[in-house]
Amino acid sequence: MPTYEYECTNCKYAFEKFQSMVDKPVKICPKCGKEVKKLIGGGSGIIFKGTGFYETDYKRPAKKENK
């Protein structure tokens, strides 16, 4: 589930909300009760775990030269 970022239009309180993509967006600031807007986030970085993600895992054997 993604994390969405919101900011209050009144008090400028910024917060994150962990919610499903089908959940309705937050509309009320938890601090002052006024309207909030959803911010566009930069997303998260990709994390590679396990084998298959390193240069050495894909190296082909050296070609043998014919003499």
DSSP element (H, E) containing 3? strand 3-8
Q: What is the CATH number of the domain that holds 4?
A: 2.20.28
Residue 29 belongs to a domain: yes
pLDDT tens for each residue of 6-24: 999 999 999 999 998 899 9
Identify the bridge partners of residue 28 per DSSP, sorted by sequence position: 35
- Predicted confidence at residue 41, as pLDDT, reads 72
| Alpha carbon 13 to chain centroid, angstroms | 21
pLDDT tens for each residue of 31-55: 999 999 999 876 666 666 666 656 6
What is the 8-class DSSP label of residue 35?
A: B
- 67: which residues sit within 8 A by CB, 6+ positions away? none
Is this model's pTM higher than 0.95 or not? no
Give the total number of structural domains in the chain: 1
Residue 21 belongs to a domain: yes
User: Which comes out higher in pLDDT, residue 58 or 12?
Assistant: 12
Residue 64 belongs to a domain: no
- Predicted confidence at residue 2, as pLDDT, reads 82
